[in-house]
Structure 1
Amino acid sequence: MKWGNSERFLSLRGSFDAYFGILQTKAFFDYSVSVSMRSGMPKINRDELNAFEFLAPNESEQRAIGDILLKLDDLITLHQ
């Protein structure tokens, strides 16, 4: 999945928390280091950022995962 293809990763709309999490991964770090080796000042431009690919579940899988986590949260709350 392309980073800039947000219509396929619907849960990210309006939320930067998930983007922040992806940016903290070793995969993104390794990618950003590999594309920033061209100068003395490490940087990544917009085109390189948009070219970064990562795996993400489709919308129905995201909803199923969210439902399971909500049920688990409710169960934990019940037993406290």
Structure 2
Amino acid sequence: MTRHALLAMNQAVRFSGWNDDVRATALCPGAIATDLVAGIPGATPKAGRLQPDTVADIVAFPMSLPNQASVPEAIANTRLESPI
């Protein structure tokens, strides 16, 4: 499934679940400092990767908002990564 397809699915969840207080945020992080990206050629250098705690903070933010607020998408890149 492509990123755009996942974003579309996220939008569908947001709209269909709104009246039932269901909120959905698509989190699109860049390279995270985990073993998962350790062996990927061309990945952001280790020193420039997002830390897992940073990603956890990004996840926690939309969850802390009242139901009237919604964050449809959160993109988190390091300064070395392209936003595209």
Larger Rg: 1
| TM-score, normalization by structure 2 | 0.26
Structure number with greater CO (CA < 8 Å, separation at least 6) is: 1
Bigger fraction of residues in strand: 2
